[in-house]
Amino acid sequence: MIMKITEFFRNLPKKQCKECGNEIEEQHECYGNTCNECLHVTEI
């Protein structure tokens, strides 16, 4: 089954943090699926 990436993201309501599950506001795509709080934790 082939799905267009654009449609795939359109179906996504919001980004969700893979760590805590909080909704992520679209700010920096480079952050992936992790919210700022979890990023601070992961960051050394």
CB of residue 19 vs Zn ion: minimum separation in angstroms? 4
> How far is Cα 32 from Cα 9, in angstroms, rounded to an integer?
13
Residue-wise burial string across 12-39, b where 16 or more C-beta atoms lie within 10 A, e elsewhere: eeebebeeeeeebeeeeeeeeebbeebe
Count of positions on this chain that bind Zn ion (CB under 5 A): 5
CB of residue 26 vs Zn ion: minimum separation in angstroms? 15
CB of residue 33 vs Zn ion: minimum separation in angstroms? 9
5-44 residues near Zn ion, rule: CB under 5 A: 17, 19-20, 35, 38
